[in-house]
Amino acid sequence: MGSDRQLTALRDWLDARTAGAPPVLRARLLEHVRRTGAEAGADENSAALLARAGMASLEAVAAHPGDRSVALDLLAADGLITLALLHRAEADPAGLAAFARALTEAEAE
């Protein structure tokens, strides 16, 4: 997923689905996606990238428990996981349940 063309396609997809979100939240979502995308392997799909970005955002929140300054990261984490599930539902409806299960199992580890 690391190519510029793939990240541009994902950004276009995100822009279409987050058009009504507050600009500051949209910016934070994209920040997490860009950071995660820069670290991603070329074979990572968009839904997986969004999920990894959501988990990274949640890790930022967990690193500062009780600190209100990470509230935006908490909203971003929620949004990115939701968007990951939406992306998978649109791209591979039959694979949605397994994808969601894998996300919860990865979190439990």
- pLDDT recorded at residue 3: 65
Whole-prediction pTM: 0.87
Q: Give pLDDT tens digits along the chain (109 positions).
A: 456 777 788 899 999 999 999 999 999 999 999 998 877 655 568 999 999 999 999 998 999 878 788 999 999 999 999 999 999 999 999 999 999 999 988 664 4
- pLDDT recorded at residue 22: 96
- Long-range residue pairs from 51-56, CB within 8 A, at least 24 positions apart, any chain: 51/80, 51/81, 51/84, 51/99, 51/103, 53/29, 53/80, 54/78, 54/79, 54/80, 54/81, 54/83, 54/84, 55/81, 55/106, 55/107, 56/32
- pLDDT recorded at residue 16: 95
Total structural domains within the chain: 1
Boundaries of domain holding 65? 4-108
